[in-house]
Structure 1
Amino acid sequence: MDLMIFPRRLQGTLKIPSSKSMGHRMVIAAALSGGGKVENLTVSADIQATLQGMKALGADYRFDGNTARFENRRDVQEETVVIDCNESGSTLRFLLPVAVALCPQKTLIFKGRGRLLERPLEPYFALFDEMGIQCRKSQDGLTVQGILKSGECRLSGKISSQFITGLLYALPLLTGDSKIVITDRLESKGYVDMTLEALTTFGIKVENRDYREFIIPGGQRYLSKDTVVEGDYSQAAFFYAANFIGSDVLLKGLNPNSSQGDRAVEAILADFAQKDDCELDVSDIPDLVPALAAAAAYRAGKVTRFVNASRLRIKESDRIAATCLMLRALGAQVEEGEDSITVWGQETLPGTGENALDCCNDHRIAMAAAAAAVGCTGKVRLLGAECVSKSYPKFWEDYRRLGGEVKEDGR
């Protein structure tokens, strides 16, 4: 779907969709408990992948509006289990160890689309190799077979916290006690905090030793609970950015005490308004970069440098390159570094005009472009704008409802 955005100031009240990150976590825990319900669940393409993955692993559920009700968890009888992760890195990395724990020695096939199976899995591969778990990539996907063993699990925390989350879900299911040891620096601690919050909600005990070690008793059972997923600061960031650029949207449904690391967006944009040139370490908040870069493009006469951003290159797109491509297409001055982005702020941006901005099949690039468009002097043409369905299926509907003028571009 190609769209043309005619710049308009957004105004009104918006209830932000539920947190995709917490939605994954609550769904997995509820499915492992075999009961309870998860309310206020925004079923994006990524969440749908996790729901279907847990169904393949024996969890039965049904929907009642935006509530998923989990009714049972049966043992998997099939010798081959296929889990289609679509483009969801969370689904793949969370469910890999969970599936091995639930289906020892069965053949597990993980399928993916886009860049998913190109994204790093080495921390699991190294750990699985020590345990004798076989992993093989092919055109059909990733095939895994073996037995997940309790004990000490040593792995890097610098590639993605998702590996730690996957193990935190799986290891309590094993008979023996386990320990996760982080061999370097754990980045994106906020996401691990979300995991620990979800696990605690469902009765799982984990001792966090200053994010260097996690002690997990074995033989635990997930307890059936009813939960409500809070609003998503990662999605709210695009409307916060639009407000920074000149819109007036009141955001509802957000928890001011949330463990979401992306809650930092409010404080960062407040600093943007007060500071001159600034440098921002984004190692713990990589998903905020496209929205923050869109806002930075309007810091007239000021330079913003985003550093320690290397993990952005292994997202749905090479998100450093894609963010720079987006800003240049809109008329901003930006420089791409190996692990950085530098933006020179302007009063306004001209927009794309008759040219087109390729969203690079990246939901966050499309939404950041829409936020930046509210301050452009000319129209903005987007290619592949349907990619927002990955995390925020009703984004364009909400954008229009707030006064955004968006039309399908049939050229």
Structure 2
Amino acid sequence: MNVTITPSLLHGAVTPPPSKSQAHRLLLAAALADGTSHLSNVAFSQDIQATVRCLEALGAAVRQEGDQLAVTGLAGRTASGGALPRLDCGESGSTLRFLIPVALAVRGGGVFTGHGRLMERPQEPYFAIFREKGIAYEQQDGALTVRGQLTPGVYTLPGNVSSQFVTGLLYALPLLHGDSEIRLTTPLESADYVRMTMDALSAFGVAAEYDGDRTFRVPGNQTGHAAPMTVEADWSNAAFWYAAAYLDSTLDIQGLNYQSAQGDACIGMLYWTIARPGEAEIDVSGCPDLVPPLAAMAALRGAGRITRLVNAARLRIKESDRLSTVTEVLNALGAEVEEYADHLVITGKDSLPGGVAVSGHNDHRIAMMAAIAATNCAAPVTVTGAECVRKSYPTFWDEYARLGGQISISQ
């Protein structure tokens, strides 16, 4: 699907979709708990559908009721032997990394598959643990097979690769018959995402302790209890509307929890960092998903104003190589973005010429970035492969049009 945007500013009230990050975590906690939990305000994006599909393959029951999900959990039941479950994770890195240790804990392993670039994403922090613990793994023909039993004990891994590895262990280790520790060999990045995980576990009655530095203590023999939960609005996607507002659209962004544990809630603070005169440097190690909207803001920050988005190396292993695709797309629109190994340097302009077609690169955040930047272009912009927004924000183009965006859609 291709979307052609005739530049115009946006106006009106908009509520971002439910948080994908929180929904993943609540779904997983509910699926491991005892009883039936009712989760409200769930957006059935492709990533959430992948998590539901995999939880059902592990033995949980998930029933859709409008915008709610009724999740009947495993209640601590485990099974080993027999055929390993096949877990199609779609293009969801959260689904894959959260469920690798969980599948080992509840089913003795699994066969994981995915689409796009998912199976290229590094899993070495898990593989190092598997070699130490005697767990078999094999990655071949686009599938990762893991087989074995997790045992209580000490689990050591780096904290600066992805917090998703810590989250996966925080879900799996409480199920074991003994206490465990997670020890980080490097400082924890994206700590807010781990806090979101611990909040989700706590809501279902599962305890874990973090010393605030490099150690998590996880008691074993824990079974969560059913709980009714409502998914918050998503700050990661709200950031694109913040970017549109920065670029002179008149938007009332509603429904957000300003005390949220979501790490990307920092967009409110970073908005003002970008708005201040002079050079700006933003460390995005804790909020890598904000780079596309921040880059759109920086590109149109005003003639000659320089913005550096630093500590961004992890963006190379997202749905696309986002350091490369952010640079390619914004420069095609007429921006001035310089790409380096782990950061971007963006020299602002007052407006962009546009008048080109750019690829969404099968990356939801790149397509949305292009759409927001197009509001300040002089000539129409076409985003090809624009259906990729379905990964996290299925209604994005509908909302864009409702807010006054002038778009035409072609196949």
Q: How does 1:140-151 map to 2 (within 5 A)?
A: 140-151=142-153
Q: C-alpha offsets along residues 223-254 of structure 1, whole Å, 9 cap, x if unaligned? A: 11000000100000000000000101111111
Q: RMSD of the TM alignment (CA)?
A: 1.2
How many aligned positions are there? 406
Aligned mates of 2:72, 2:90 — CA distance in 1:
25
Secondary structure in 2 aligned to 1:279?
strand
Q: Give, in whole Å, the separation in 2 of the partners of 1:131 and 1:90.
A: 23
Q: Could you tell me how far 1:397 is from its partner in structure 2?
A: 0.6
Q: Distance in 1 between matches of 2:142 and 2:272?
A: 47
Aligned to 1:339: 342
Deviation of 1:80 after TM superposition, in Å, equals: 2.3
Tell me whether 1:221 sits opposite 2:209 in the alignment.
no
Q: Which residue of 2 aligns with 1:126?
A: 128
CA distance in 1, matches of 2:186, 2:91: 28
* Change over 3 Å in CA distance of 1:75–1:185 after alignment to 2: closer
| TM-score, normalised relative to structure 1 | 0.97
Give every structure 1 segment of 4 or more consecutive aligned residues whose post-TM-superposition deviation is greater than 6 Å: none
Deviation at 1:75, TM superposition (A): 5.5
Q: Deviations over 1:65-88 (max 9, x none)?
A: 110001353766852210000100
Can you give the 5+ residue segments of structure 1 that lack an aligned partner in the other structure?
A: none
Query: Is contact 1:58-1:76 (8 Å) kept?
Result: no
Q: Is 1:102 matched with 2:114? A: no
Please give the residue correspondences for 1:147-186 in structure 2 after superposition, counting only pairs within 5 Å: 147-186=149-188
Q: Does 1:330 align with 2:333?
A: yes
Partner residue, 2:12: 12
Distance 1:178 1:306 in 2: 37
The range that moved more, 255-264 or 269-278, is: 269-278
Q: Does 1:93 align with 2:97?
A: yes
Query: What residue number does 2:29 align with?
Result: 29
Q: Secondary structure at the match of 1:377?
A: strand
Q: In the alignment, what sits opposite 1:400?
A: 401
Deviation at 1:409, TM superposition (A): 3.6
Q: Deviations over 1:365-396 (max 9, x none)?
A: 00011111111111111111100011011110
Counterpart of 1:5, as a letter, is I
Q: Which residue of 2 aligns with 1:388?
A: 389
1:321 partnered with 2:328: no
Distance in 2, matches of 1:99 and 1:140, equals 18
| TM-superposed deviation, 1:122 | 0.2
Q: Which runs of structure 2 are paired with 1:164-313 in the superposition (5 Å)?
A: 164-301=166-303, 302-313=305-316
Question: SS where residue 352 of structure 2 aligns?
Answer: coil
Partner letter of residue 99 of structure 2?
L
TM-score by length of structure 2 reads 0.97
Instruction: Report SS of the residue matched to 2:199.
Output: helix
Indicate conservation of the 8 Å contact 2:89/2:96, yes or no. Answer: yes
Distance in 2, Cα, partners of 1:157 & 1:264 = 20
CA distance in 2, matches of 1:76, 1:178: 21
Aligned to 1:371: 372
User: What SS class does the counterpart of residue 377 from structure 2 fall into?
Assistant: coil
Name whichever of 72-81 and 47-56 sits farther off. 72-81
- Tell me how far apart the structure 2 counterparts of residues 109 and 22 of structure 1 sit (CA, whole Å): 25
What amino acid is the match of 2:194? V
In 1, the alpha carbon distance for the partners of 2:216 and 2:85 equals: 29
CA contact (8 A) 2:5 2:406 kept: yes
- The answer for unaligned runs of 5 or more in structure 2 is none
**Structure 1 pair 36–286 and aligned structure 2 pair: CA distance change class (3 A):** same
Letter in 2 for 1:69: A
Do the aligned residues in 1 keep the contact of 2:280 with 2:306 (CA within 8 Å)?
yes
Q: 2:353, 2:377 within 8 Å by CA — same for their partners in 1?
A: yes
Q: CA–CA distance in 1 between the matches of 2:119 and 2:62? A: 27
Aligned counterparts of 2:255 and 2:353: Cα–Cα separation in 1 = 33
